């Protein structure tokens, strides 16, 4: 099977590509615009593989996307390309609308036209996996979990654009018959995550002796999933999922932001006992909350376990320890980013005119 992976040089996308080329016989065509958070460094492990091809194409470029389909003749699409940082969506929402909504529509429509022209057997095999987030559901109460039929109620521009892309994906299935599968996942973490996200921010700032900013009182709750588990889940959905269905992908690993920060600090204390910043929890500092900050997310992932036999392999603490160790060992990787691309400044501030 030849698979187009959009956003394949990003965090979750690159983990998925590495999994595909390590553990499956599939060929992979990575489509990525290499914006600030994308890098071919994430694919160093597989770039020499004869089954790997890279195309630097923005999904908003309809002609470029069409060329990829015409040239590579894929059997499936895994759509992970997106602007994904909530805080950045507050400061600059329009790029999120463009990439997440318009880009998804272009990809769906190109896939539809391509799929229509396939021969019968190839049409039957073709799949389009649209990868989304639990943030489309909005904030959750203290006891329930989001299911595949939960009402959409997005709070941030990021979540709203992902909700829009989910609706587009389902409509292309219901209206045109395109064999679309939708997944919604929780907060991912692991190697190669861009340093603006919560867990790598904590690790990197702690290693530099900087304060560890926690929004509000630190009581916001997220469900956490190790990125390698998510990659395995996505391949399972692509190869065994049912078109027209939605699947929640989660790990049943809820933690408050304060708990996560303290766990990161504990791992750093163990890995770097002679650090001048140990105990690292002394670096934790609570800062002004961001606008529209949802209180809790948690996914009910029983459907994918029941129907497809997938469940997360890694426990939170073990995966977090591996992640902290990776950032300790790959200091040159994230230091280059902090020098060239992102200086660690706070995002998520409401822009003011003038």
Q: What tokens appear for 132 in the block?
A: 């989304």
3-state secondary structure of 292: coil
> Choosing from 32, 55, 83, 158, which is the catalytic residue?
158
β-partners of residue 299 are: 146
> Choosing from 134, 223, 228, 232, which is the catalytic residue?
134
- What DSSP string runs through 129-160? EEEEEGGGG----SS--B-TTPPP---SHHHH
- The question of whether 134 is a catalytic residue gets the answer yes
Which regions of 201-283 does DSSP assign to beta strands (E)?
Answer: 212-215, 221-226, 246-249, 254-256
Q: What tokens appear for 113 in the block?
A: 């036209």
Cα 294 to chain centroid, rounded: 18
H-helix or E-strand spanning residue 121: helix 120-125
Taking each helix axis as running N to C, give the angle between helix 198-207 and helix 257-271, from 0 to 180 degrees, rounded to the nearest 10. Answer: 40
CA distances from 275 to 195, 209, 302 (A): 21, 9, 42
**What's the longest Cα–Cα distance across the chain?**
65
- The question of whether 63 is a catalytic residue gets the answer no
- The question of whether 196 is a catalytic residue gets the answer no
> Choosing from 135, 196, 228, 254, which is the catalytic residue?
135
Residues with catalytic roles: 134-135, 158
């Amino acid at each position: 099977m030849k698979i187009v992976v959009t956003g394949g040089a990003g965090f979750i996308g690159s983990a998925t590509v590495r999994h595909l080329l390590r553990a499956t016989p599939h060929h992979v065509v990575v489509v990525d615009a290499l914006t600030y958070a994308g890098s071919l460094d994430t694919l160093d492990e597989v770039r020499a593989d004869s089954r790997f091809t890279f195309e630097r194409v923005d999904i908003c470029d309809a002609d470029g996307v069409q060329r990829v389909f015409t040239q590579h003749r894929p059997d499936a699409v895994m759509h992970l390309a997106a602007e994904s940082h909530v805080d950045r969506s507050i400061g600059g929402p329009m790029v999120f609308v463009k990439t997440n909504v318009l880009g998804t529509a272009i990809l769906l429509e190109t896939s539809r036209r391509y799929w229509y022209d396939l021969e019968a057997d190839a049409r039957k095999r073709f799949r389009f996996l649209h990868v989304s987030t639990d943030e489309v559901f909005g904030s959750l109460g203290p006891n329930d979990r989001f299911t595949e039929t939960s009402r959409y109620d997005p709070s941030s521009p990021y979540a709203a654009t992902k909700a829009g892309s989910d609706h587009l994906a389902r409509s292309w299935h219901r209206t045109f018959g395109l064999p679309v599968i939708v997944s919604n996942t929780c907060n991912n973490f692991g190697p190669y995550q861009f340093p603006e996200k919560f867990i790598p921010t904590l690790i990197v700032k702690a290693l530099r002796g900087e304060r560890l900013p926690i929004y509000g009182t630190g009581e916001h709750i997220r469900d956490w999933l190790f990125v390698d588990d998510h990659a395995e889940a996505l391949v399972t959905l692509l190869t065994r999922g049912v078109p027209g269905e939605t699947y929640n992908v989660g790990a049943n690993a809820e933690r408050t932001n304060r708990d996560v920060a303290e766990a990161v600090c504990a791992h750093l204390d163990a890995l770097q006992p002679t650090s001048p910043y140990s105990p690292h929890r002394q670096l934790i500092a609570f800062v002004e909350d961001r606008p529209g900050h949802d209180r809790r997310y948690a996914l009910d992932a029983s459907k994918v376990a029941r129907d497809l036999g997938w469940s997360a392999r890694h426990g939170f603490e073990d995966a977090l320890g591996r992640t902290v160790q990776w950032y300790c060992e790959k200091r040159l990787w994230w230091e280059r980013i902090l020098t060239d691309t992102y200086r660690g400044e706070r995002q998520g501030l409401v822009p003011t005119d003038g």
